[in-house]
C-alpha cells in the first residue's frame, strides 16, 4: 500500500474562528483525512507577534481545538496539537532565520499590512515570523500545505529556504507545494466585501463567527452590503458586484450549488430575499458545529487528552527532522 502524502496547516488563536476560517480552510481539511496524513495545529506562537491577553489566548487556543473537532477533524484520523507544545517549531525557526534573506522578509506583504495596523508594536517577531512559518511546514516534511491565496507567499519563502538549505547540506527538506482550494477559498467581510473576513476584527459587525447564535447570524446577513446598482439581481460579477459575489460564494459553500444554479434560483428576486436565504443556509450549516463545540468545551479532560496525544505524535515527527538539521549545520548532539 502506498504511503499517504503529508498535509499540514494551522490557524492562529488570535481571535474566534469565523465562517471564512471554516469555508476557506477547515471544511476542506476535514475531507482530506482518508487521503492524507494530516497535521493541524493551533498557532499560538504566531499569535504573540501582536499583544494578547494571556487568559484570552489560553481560552481561545483550547476552544479552537474543540471547534476543529466539531468541524469534523477526528483526532483519531488527524494529528491535532498546540504549536507551543512542540518546541521543535521555535528551535527550527531560529535556524531558518539564518537561511532567510533580509530582502525576502522585507517584501512579505503581510509584514507591511501588519506594520500599518500595529505601528506602536513593530517587533522583530512580526518581521521574522515567516521563518517560524517555514519551520512549521518543513518539520513535518509535507507534500502539500493548504493555504489561501494571501498566504501563498509564505509557502514560496519556505520553498526558497528549502532550495538554499538543501543546496548547501544535501537532501534534508522535502519541497512543499501550496494547495489552494478553488471554491470558498476567500470569504470577505459582509460590510466591506473588499476586505477578507478576519477573526482579529475587533468590531466584528461584518464577521460571522462559528459560535454566533442564529439570531446574530441572521442580523449580520440582513445588514450585509450588496451593491449600489439599480439592477437588484443576483449575478456573479466580482468586479462589478463584490458584495453579491461574496454572498454567492458563501451560499455556494453552504449548499454546494454552482453560481449558475444560484443565479437561476434567485432570478427575479431581490437582494433582501437572497440575503435571508444565505443567512438561513449559514445558520443551518453552523448549528451542529456550535452545539458540538459547546459540548466539547465543557469536557476539559477530553480536550487535554487530545492535545497531549497530538503533541507527542507531532514531536516524534518534528524531532526526526530537527535532529537531521542540527547535525547538518554542525551542532554537537545533545
Give me the active site residues, please: 114, 196, 199
The number of angstroms, rounded, from the C-alpha of 284 to the middle of its chain's C-alpha atoms is 22
Q: CB-side exposure of 187: number of CA atoms within 13 Å?
A: 28
How many other CB atoms are there within 10 angstroms of residue 124's CB atom? 9
Compute CA distances 80 → 108, 217, 220, 246, 311, whole Å.
Answer: 28, 28, 31, 31, 8
The C-alpha cell at 278 is 444565505
Residue 96 CB neighbour total at 10 angstroms: 26
Cell 522585507 locates to 106
Amino acid at each position: 500500500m502506498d504511503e499517504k502524502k503529508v498535509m499540514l496547516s494551522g490557524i492562529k488563536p488570535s481571535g474566534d474562528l469565523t465562517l471564512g476560517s471554516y469555508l476557506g480552510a477547515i471544511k476542506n481539511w476535514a475531507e482530506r483525512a482518508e487521503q492524507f496524513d494530516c497535521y493541524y495545529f493551533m498557532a499560538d506562537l504566531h499569535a504573540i507577534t501582536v499583544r494578547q491577553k494571556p487568559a484570552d489566548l489560553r481560552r481561545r487556543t483550547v476552544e479552537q481545538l474543540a471547534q476543529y473537532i466539531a468541524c469534523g477533524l477526528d483526532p483519531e484520523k488527524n494529528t491535532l496539537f498546540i504549536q507551543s507544545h512542540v518546541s521543535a517549531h521555535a528551535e527550527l525557526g531560529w535556524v531558518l532565520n539564518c537561511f532567510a534573506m533580509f530582502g525576502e522578509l522585507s517584501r512579505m506583504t503581510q509584514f507591511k499590512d501588519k506594520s500599518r495596523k500595529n505601528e506602536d508594536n513593530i517587533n522583530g517577531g512580526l518581521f521574522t515570523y515567516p521563518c517560524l512559518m517555514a519551520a512549521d511546514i518543513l518539520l513535518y516534511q509535507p507534500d502539500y500545505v493548504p493555504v489561501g491565496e494571501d498566504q501563498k507567499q509564505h509557502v514560496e519563502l519556505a520553498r526558497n529556504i528549502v532550495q538554499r538549505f538543501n543546496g548547501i547540506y544535501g537532501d534534508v527538506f522535502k519541497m512543499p507545494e501550496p494547495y489552494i482550494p478553488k471554491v470558498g477559498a476567500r470569504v470577505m467581510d459582509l460590510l466591506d466585501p473588499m476586505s477578507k473576513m478576519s477573526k482579529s476584527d475587533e468590531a466584528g459587525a461584518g464577521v460571522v463567527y462559528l459560535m454566533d447564535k442564529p439570531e446574530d447570524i441572521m442580523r449580520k446577513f440582513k445588514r450585509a452590503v450588496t451593491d449600489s446598482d439599480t439592477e437588484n439581481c443576483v449575478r456573479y460579477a466580482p468586479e462589478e458586484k463584490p458584495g453579491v459575489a461574496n454572498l454567492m460564494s458563501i451560499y455556494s459553500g453552504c449548499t454546494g450549488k454552482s453560481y449558475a444554479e444560484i443565479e437561476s434560483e434567485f432570478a427575479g428576486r431581490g437582494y433582501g430575499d437572497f440575503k435571508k436565504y444565505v443567512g438561513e443556509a449559514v445558520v443551518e450549516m453552523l448549528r451542529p458545529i456550535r452545539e458540538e463545540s459547546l459540548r466539547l468545551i465543557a469536557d476539559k479532560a477530553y480536550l487535554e487528552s487530545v492535545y497531549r496525544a497530538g503533541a507527542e505524535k507531532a514531536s516524534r515527527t518534528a524531532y526526526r527532522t530537527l535532529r537531521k538539521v542540527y547535525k547538518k549545520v554542525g551542532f554537537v548532539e545533545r
